[in-house]
Chain A
Amino acid sequence: MMVLETILYLIAYPPLWHVLIVGLLGAFFTAVVAIWFERKTAARVQRRIGPYWASPRLGGFLNLIADMIRYILQEVIIPRSVDRVPFVLAPVAAFVISIMPMAFVPLSPYEKFWPVPNMDYSLLLALAISTVPPLMSIIGGWASNNKFSIIGSIRESYVITAYELIFVISLLSAAATYTSLNLLTIVNAQSPIAWLLFLNPIAFLAAFLAVLMSTSAFPFEIPESEHEVVGGPYTEYSGILYALNMGGAYVRRFIYAVIMSLVFLGGWAPYVPPADGPLFAIIIPSLIVAIKAVILVLIMSFLRAVYGRYRLDQALDSAWRLVLPMALIGLGWGIVLGLIL
């Protein structure tokens, strides 16, 4: 028993568990699952089968693995006209920084399982770091020295200005309700079933739309919109660098979904983790959080099949005119909730 216990403790060693296993592997796995799910859902709605022959029993799941291997081992073209250092570094940095917010996210109520000590501003820190990767894609697009990439970068900058504010405001409603910026406090306050999703659905909807916009999912897939700007910031990327870029967006979507599932979906609630043993204290609660996040990601993937793409100005228009007021109403209602509770 001691051996098993030790292995479990080793797995649950906070930096390893949080950032590498739930963070990197989880994000990687989610990226693959989300892409697979996106392709299969679209295929179902569109009356066809989608990826199939790579592994007919698994519904073509291995096809995504094949895509990944192909991208990793394909030639990497670095055109002569690009600015090399930022061109190569930007996707790598974007991918790495995308996972970083995991370090500040509690996946268990007990501090000993955390990579960083409990602090009162964990929500703010996670948010702050999550806003860096888009800057990296702007840098990559600019370094590509391609006209389409530059247009894509500019669009990305427009879009992030719009969505960041909305996302932050709608998450602040939670902070206002529970008068705390500590994610742990927010999660604990929602247990077991008083989730903010039910208490404050407007803020949840605003945050959901903001995540859609930020990770350029349909109908807000504007920076990469292929029919005008070919791939936006990623036009010139090839091989593994492109795979990092493409995976990065899905990883980001997953991280946002984790934050949202903590803030709005009650984290590991309705499960109440006991204090002893890593299996019950950390592994199961973090799986619950991950599953909630995956469900959110899959819902976002489903929208691809139903919606087209907004025009840039229309998307910004709806962001400022519709979603921002929504987020503000959510914030107001959050304050009211805070006064009531």
Chain B
Amino acid sequence: MSISEGTLGELRSKGVEVRRIDKEYYEIFIGPQHPGSGHMRFRVKLDGDIIVDADPDIGYVHRTMEKLSEGREWLKITPLVERMTIIDACNITLPYINALEKLMDKRPSTRASYLRVLLCEMNRIASHLYGFGIFGVFIGHSTAYMWGFGDREVFVELSEILTGTRLTYTYHIPGGVRRDMPQDFPQMVRRAVRYMRSRMPEYEKIFLNNPVIVTRLKDVGVITKNRAAELGVVGPTLRGSGIRYDVRLAEPYEVYGEIDFEVPVFEDGDALARTWVRVEEIKQSLNIMEQAIDWLERHRDEPVIPKEDYDKLPKLHKEVYEKSGRVKLLPAQISMKVPPGKAVARGEAGRGEIFYYVESDGGTMPYRLRVVTPSARNAIVFKRILPGHRLMDLPTVYGSIDYFAPEADR
């Protein structure tokens, strides 16, 4: 039944707001206040229960990092870009520091590099467990949420011991890190690794092999290999589609080239495969952590600060470093100048590849800083993959690509 134009006019004259909608489809707005959306909004058109069009309206957490970084000194940008993904703060700032180091032609000491790798892998596990938990609660499995977040606390606790804070470490500085590890740290890391290994089968039993969950995830949100490459998705979404790409593999940064680990790839391309990629990556990260901590324990005497830098430090700085392992900054570093030039760097964050483009004009601040985050590149999946699925698949697809809106919006 359609309403005639006359009736509409009558309604309008009474002050009723009348708007023609696409009468074929049922249009709903999901988010930003919606338990299944996070910090974004979907505009979904439904034909019955089938999604015919999904338009992600992102930008609800756009905090203008690129613009603000043009007015801040080089060192201040690390905490700034860190706020993109505080749950993955180490991985997300490392490529920025790498790009800066490329511009400054500076290398970190090997010990600092291993410490970075160690923290990055702890972060990756924490980030995957976070995503896993959110995914669990999206499909109504609150135990997965609680277990993921509970076990994440183990790694959060470890990084708190290493860096002094739970999430926003601001750990890297050009040419090194801000703290050395405490004496009893290796034992803790080993205990955590053994604990997490013993937990993995339980996760598989209650979540990954749970028939309800498997039915829910299988053949949902399928991205084929070629389509994944065409859309430019990254991270577990990419590796779940059978593409053997990982920045740690393609362009090893820090000391990843010397470490023995696997990059798991699954061929199916559906939500289940993407979840399995994360689980397998947690296992590999545990291996990397073990190797890094072994190296760090074997080379206890090696300094975090390169020798030539260490000699230049004032007496107090040396004392503090010897006593508590804290690397103090020099006031000269606040307004350090970086040689002009352009540099790009990429790194593998928990959600995928992060890309930095840094341009310096020789001043104390960057001329242009461009960040492309994994979630920003995965956002296109919503638009292209969701149509054709059922409404109830929206949280499944959302959770399986582990979209983190503050990261995408920057």
- Which residues in A have some Cβ–Cβ distance to B below 8 Å? 42, 45-48, 147-148, 151, 218-219, 221-222, 225-230, 304-314
Contact = CB atoms under 8 A, between A and B. Distances in A.
Interface residues of B, number: 32
Given A306-B143, A309-B139, A312-B392, 6 more contacts: A227-B139, A227-B395, A228-B394, A309-B216, A313-B390, A314-B215
User: By CB atoms of chain B within 10 A, which of A219, A227, A230, A305 has the most?
Assistant: A227
Given A147-B28, A225-B140, A311-B392, A47 B150 contact: yes
Contact of B141 (A48, A147, A229, A308): A308
Interface string B27-59: 010100011100000000000010000000000
B8 interface: no
Given A151-B391, A228-B395, A307-B210, A312 B143 contact: no
6 contacts: A219-B140, A228-B394, A229-B391, A307-B212, A308-B140, A311-B392
Contacts of B390: 311-313
Given A48-B146, A148-B28, A228 B392 contact: yes
Provide the main secondary structure of the chain B interface: helix
A219 B142 contact: no
A230 B35 contact: yes
A308 B36 contact: no
Contact of B216 (A48, A148, A304, A314): A314
Nearest to B46: A151
A42 B142 contact: yes
Contacts of A151: 28, 391
Contacts of A314: 215-216
Contacts of B142: 42, 46, 304-305
- Give 10 closest A-B pairs by Cβ, nearest first: A309-B140, A46-B146, A227-B36, A308-B141, A227-B395, A311-B392, A308-B140, A308-B139, A226-B35, A219-B212
A306 B206 contact: yes
Nearest to A311: B392
A230 B34 contact: yes
B185 interface: no
B136 interface: yes
A218 B140 contact: yes
Nearest to B398: A227
B310 interface: no
Contacts, number: 83
Contacts of B141: 307-309
A308 B71 CA distance: 48
Interface of B: 26, 28, 30, 34-36, 49, 136-147, 150, 206, 210, 212-213, 215-216, 390-395
Contacts of A218: 140
A312 B49 contact: yes
A46 B216 contact: no
User: By CB atoms of chain B within 10 A, which of A42, A307, A311 has the most?
Assistant: A311
Contacts of B213: 308
A236 to B, nearest CB: 14
Contacts of A228: 30, 36, 391-392, 394-395
A46 B153 CA distance: 14
Given A304-B142, A308-B141, A226 B36 contact: yes
A313 B392 CA distance: 9
B403 to A, nearest CB: 14
A37 to B, nearest CB: 15
A47 B147 CA distance: 8
Nearest to A226: B35
A311 B271 CA distance: 14
Contacts of B143: 42, 45-46, 305-306
Nearest to B137: A227
Contacts of A48: 146, 150
A312 B215 CA distance: 12
Contacts of B146: 46-48
Contact of B215 (A222, A225, A310): A310
B147 A313 contact: no
Nearest to A227: B36
Contacts of B150: 46-48
B140 A227 contact: yes
Contact of B26 (A45, A147, A219, A310): A147
A310 B214 CA distance: 10
A262 B213 CA distance: 33
A29 B394 CA distance: 37
B323 to A, nearest CB: 38
A305 B145 CA distance: 11
Nearest to A304: B142
A304 B215 CA distance: 17
B393 A311 contact: yes
A218 B213 CA distance: 12
Nearest to B207: A308
Contacts of A309: 139-141, 212, 216
B69 to A, nearest CB: 35
A221 B139 CA distance: 10
Contacts of A304: 142
Contacts of A308: 136, 139-141, 144, 210, 212-213, 216
B358 to A, nearest CB: 39
Contacts of A227: 35-36, 137-140, 395
A151 B390 CA distance: 12
A148 to B, nearest CB: 7
Contacts of A230: 34-35
Nearest to A43: B146
Contacts of B147: 46-47
A307 B209 CA distance: 11
Nearest to A307: B212
Nearest to B140: A309
A111 to B, nearest CB: 45
